């Protein structure tokens, strides 16, 4: 089993579009996002329908930015956190594109980009779209408590981002996907649903270690190692444990869950999470910084916690997964 899959044909991120809710719009990246809703409802009458609408808006926006129609896309890869991934299946049903459903929890953005890049690279598709989303209100009532209950949140809990990000992968664009490492499912015995960062960090460490063990690159070759989303708790664990293994990412690490909210002004506990967090940060901020050459080489590691409320009620701990994508601007060769 090899760890790194290298992509000879260099699939590119040809288009992208981000959609967020009100808290994300008020955060430090607020101006970066393409579309927002001030009441988080996106003109729909349920949180789940609002989440589906975010995915529809994100894919439509990415198509429009690229000057494409839905029938120009060979495959649409999508998934989300809702039971049976209905954010995706209901949001995308109007697009005339073959549909592949994914489940990677908060790693779904990285998983979709990885598979889309490989399907382009292998010649199966000329253009793939991928999209994911999460909605704070829909997630709270599904995974924890209905909002009306007014439950207290622990300091280690992360805040599910209301947001969506869509991408189109093809042969056109300045940002190339160069390498991929698919994550292994790893369960280190964490069973606290309010400390997902700790549950996901070990999977992230495993993937990053496997990358650097086999890569020709060192940490210093990258401008940014971006995780999504470990939050404050998980990021600290990640950096400390990697350091103890001789991999020092402290200077260039950031986490989408840390970037999307202002910790001083916004009461979001351990930071953002949810499929929509890394998807909207990548589509709203990181890809643009690569296109402008403010960033040139980025490792993006999407992390997902693969439990359900039921498995925790039954005494299970939380398996997690982390998929890695090496992004690079085309003309960068140092």
Tell me the backbone φ, ψ of residue 243, rounded to 5 degrees. -60, -40
Instruction: Report the residue from 63, 92, 198, 204 that binds its own copies according to the rule CB under 8 A.
Output: 92
**Of 43, 71, 150, 189, the one binding its own copies by CB under 8 A:** 71
User: Is residue 169 helix, strand or coil?
Assistant: strand
Cα gap 168→130, rounded to integer Å = 7
The pattern of x and - marking residues 25 through 64 that bind its own copies according to CB under 8 A reads: ---------------------x-xx---------------
* Binds its own copies by CB under 8 A, chosen from 184, 209, 217, 236: 184
Q: How far is the CB of 32 from its own copies (least distance, A)?
A: 29
CB 299 within 8 A of CB 254: no
Rounded alpha-carbon distances, angstroms, from residue 4 to 169, 178, 228: 19, 10, 19
Does the protein bind its own copies through residue 146 (CB under 8 A)?
no
Question: 16 CB contacts (<8 Å, ≥6 apart)?
Answer: 62, 65, 165, 166, 167, 168, 282, 283, 287
Radius of gyration of the chain (CA): 18
Q: Which stretch binds its own copies (CB under 8 A): 229-237, 245-253, 287-295, 310-318?
A: 310-318
Phi, psi (degrees; rounded to nearest 5) at 330:
-55, -45
Size of the site for its own copies (CB under 8 A): 59
Choosing from 42, 159, 167, 182, the residue that interacts with its own copies (CB under 8 A) is 182
Binding its own copies by CB under 8 A: which of 58, 190, 290, 306? 306
Nearer to its own copies (CB atom), residue 27 or residue 319:
319
8-state DSSP, 252: T
Site residues (CB under 8 A) for its own copies? 1-2, 5, 46, 48-49, 71-75, 79, 81-86, 89-90, 92-93, 96-105, 111, 115, 118-119, 121-125, 181-187, 304, 306-311, 314, 316, 319, 321
């Amino acid at each position: 089993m090899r760890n790194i899959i290298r992509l000879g044909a260099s699939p590119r991120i040809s288009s992208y579009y981000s959609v967020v809710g009100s808290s994300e719009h008020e955060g430090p990246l607020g101006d970066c996002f393409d579309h927002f809703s001030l009441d988080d409802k996106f003109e729909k009458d349920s949180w789940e329908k609002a989440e589906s609408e975010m995915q529809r808006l994100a894919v439509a926006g990415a198509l429009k930015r690229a000057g494409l129609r839905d029938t120009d896309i060979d495959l649409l890869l999508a998934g989300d956190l809702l039971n049976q991934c209905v954010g995706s299946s209901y949001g995308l049903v109007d697009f005339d594109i073959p549909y592949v459903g994914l489940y990677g929890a908060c790693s779904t953005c990285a998983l979709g980009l990885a598979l889309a890049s490989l399907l382009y690279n292998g010649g199966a598709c000329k253009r793939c779209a991928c999209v994911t989303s999460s909605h704070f209100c829909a997630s709270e009532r599904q995974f924890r408590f209905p909002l009306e209950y007014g439950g207290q949140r622990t300091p280690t809990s992360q805040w599910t981002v209301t947001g969506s990000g869509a991408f189109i992968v093809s042969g056109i664009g300045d940002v190339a996907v160069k390498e991929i490492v698919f994550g292994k499912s790893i369960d280190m015995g964490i069973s606290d649903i309010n400390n997902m960062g700790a549950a996901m960090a070990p999977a992230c460490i495993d993937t990053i270690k496997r990358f650097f063990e086999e890569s020709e690159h060192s940490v210093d070759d990258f401008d940014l190692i971006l995780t999504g989303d470990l939050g404050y708790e998980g990021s600290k664990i990640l950096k400390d444990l990697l350091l103890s293994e001789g991999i020092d990412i402290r200077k260039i690490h950031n986490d989408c869950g840390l970037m999307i909210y202002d910790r001083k002004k916004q009461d979001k506990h351990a930071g953002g999470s949810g499929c929509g967090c890394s998807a909207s940060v990548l589509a709203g901020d990181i890809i643009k910084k690569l296109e402008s050459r403010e960033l040139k080489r980025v490792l993006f590691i999407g992390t997902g916690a693969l439990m359900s409320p039921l498995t925790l009620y039954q005494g299970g701990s939380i398996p997690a997964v982390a998929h890695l994508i090496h992004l690079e601007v085309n003309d960068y060769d140092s």
